[in-house]
Amino acid sequence: MREVAIIGVGMTKFGELWEQSIRDMFAEAGLKAMENAKVEKIDALYVGAMSSGLYAYQEHLGSLMVDYLGQIGVPAVRVESACASGGQAVRMGYLDVASGMHEIVLVGGVEKMWDVDDGTFVLATAADQEYEVYNGVTFPGLYAMMARAYMERYGLTREELAQVPIKNHKHAVNNPNAQYPFEIDLKQVLNSSMVADPLRLLDCSPITDGAACLILCPLDRVKEFTDKFVKIIGVGAASGPIALHDHKDLTRIEAVNLAAERAYKMAGVGPDDIDFVEVHDCFSIAEILVAEELGFFEYGTAGKAIAEGQATYGGKIVINPSGGLKAKGHPVGATGVAQLVEAYYQLTFQAGKRQVPNARLGMTQNMGGSGGSCVVHILEGM
C-alpha cells in the first residue's frame, strides 16, 4: 500500500442553511476543495451521509454529486455508517488511493437536517429500530443512560460534565465556519431545557446543515499540486453492537478503543505523541468516554481532567480545537470529514487564532450511533 496525503480541503459554513439544498452544499464544499488542491479532474468520489433518504428524500448521492461537481463518469458511491459516515467515506477514499486503484480522490460528507420537522425520529435510525427505538428511547436518551452509569460509578458531577460544552464553545469563537462561535457559561448549561435526564440542551450537539470535502492524493505526487499537504499515517476502524444494551459495560465504547489501537499501531505512535484530537462529542459525556478510550486519560478520570483544563490550550492535549460537534455544528454525514479539514488547517498552520502551537501529529475520531462503528485517523504535518 502506498502513502496517501490530503492536498486540499473545502467546507461550507455549518449552521441553518435555509437557502441551500443537499446538492448545493456538497457542490460548494467539493468545488472549494478542488480549487484549494488545484485539481480540475478527480478519479473517484466517496460521499458520506447518514440519512439523505429520510432527511432529503434523496438516495443515490454518488451519482447526484458527480453530476453537480461536473465530474460525470467517475466511479462514485455513498458511504453510510450513521454518524461515522464521513469518517468511513474518508477511509474508503484512503483505501482507494493507497491500493493504487485511483490517484486523485474526492471524499466528502454532507447532511441536510433542517428540511424535516421530526429530526429525533431520523437520528434514531442509528440505533436498533426494533428493540431500542420501538420502546421509546431516543439518541440523546442512549447517551444519557451512559452518562448516568458513568456519573454514578465515578462520581462525576453535573457541573464537571458541563465543562465540556463550555470549553468547546470557547474554542469555536475562533472558528469562522462554526455554527455557534460564542461562549456559554455554567449557568446557561444548567438552566437549558432538559432533553434526556441528565443531558440538557447545551450538552447536545445541534441540528446542522453543512458539507465538507477533502482531496486525497498519493504522497509521491503532492508536489504536482501544492506544498501545503498533510500525510495520513494511521487509519483504524472498528464496529460495536448495534444496541447500547449489548455493551457489556455501559461506560465503555469498545469500538473506539479498538479503532484507536489499530490506528496507533499503523502509525507507530501512542497517545502521548498526539498534539490535538478532534473527537465525536455528539453529547458532552461522549467526549469524556472517548478521551478515555483513545488513551489520553485513565478510565474514570477524563471528566475531572477536562474540567481542570487538561483538554484545552496549555493542557495535556487540545481536544476539539474547532469547537467540536457541540459548537462547530454536527451535520451528521459531514462531521467525520470536517474533523480532517480541521486537522489539515492545524497541521498546515492555517488555523488562525485557534492554531495549536507546534502541531505536528493530529488525530480524528468519528463514531456512529452509541458506538456501533468508529473510525480513527492519525495525521502528520509535513
Partner 1 sequence: MANSQRYTREIPHRYRLEAQKFTSGFVSLPHRYCDPISGKKEYEKITLSGTGKILSYTIIHVSSDQFKLLTPYAVAIIETDEGARVTAMITDTKFDDLKIGARVEFVFRKIMEEGPSGIINYGYKAKVIS
Q: By the criterion CB under 8 A, which residues form the site for partner 1? A: 118, 120-121, 124, 128, 130-138, 140-141, 144-146, 148-149, 152, 193-199, 241, 243-246, 250
* Shortest distance in whole angstroms from residue 144 CB to partner 1: 4
Q: For partner 1, give the closer residue by CB, 135 or 358.
A: 135
Per the CB < 8 A criterion, the answer to whether 89 and 368 are in contact is no
The least CB distance from residue 370 to partner 1, in Å, is 10
**CB-count exposure of residue 239 (10 Å: 0-12, 13-18, 19+):** middle
**How far apart are alpha carbons 110 and 78 in whole angstroms?**
10
Candidates 83, 204, 282, 374; catalytic one: 83
Instruction: Return the number of the residue (130 or 272) whose C-beta is nearest partner 1.
Output: 130
User: Which residues are CB-neighbours of 107 under 8 A, at least 6 positions away?
Assistant: 45, 46, 47, 48, 89, 90, 92, 93, 94, 213, 214, 216, 337
CB of 198 to partner 1, least distance (A): 8
Nearest approach in angstroms of CB 225 to partner 1 is 45
83 annotated active-site? yes
Reduced DSSP (H G I as helix, E B as strand, rest coil) percent helix, strand, coil of the chain, to 5: 40, 20, 40
Give 103 or 254: the residue with its C-beta nearer to partner 1.
254
Cα–Cα distance for residue pair 372/273, rounded to 1 Å: 27
Active site annotation includes 330: yes
Q: How far is the CB of 177 from partner 1 (least distance, A)?
A: 27
Q: How far is the CB of 234 from partner 1 (least distance, A)?
A: 27
Least distance in angstroms from the C-beta of 372 to partner 1: 12
**Closer residue to partner 1 in complex, CB, 63/120:** 120
- SS3 for 84? coil
> Of residues 171, 247, 330, 377, which has the active-site annotation?
330
Sign of CA dihedral 328, 334, 338, 341: negative
What's the order of all strands across the beta sheet hosting 373-381? 76-79, 44-48, 105-112, 209-218, 4-11, 230-239, 373-381, 361-368, 276-278, 318-319
User: Residue 19 CB: number of other CB atoms within 10 A?
Assistant: 7
DSSP readout, 339-357? HHHHHHHHHTT--GGGPPT
CB neighbour class for 186 (10 Å; exposed up to 12, middle 13-18, buried from 19): middle
Cα-flanking dihedrals φ and ψ of residue 324, to 5°? 65, -175
Nearer to partner 1, 168 or 370 (CB): 370
Nearer of residues 181 and 198 to partner 1, judged by Cβ: 198
So which residues are the catalytic ones?
A: 83, 330
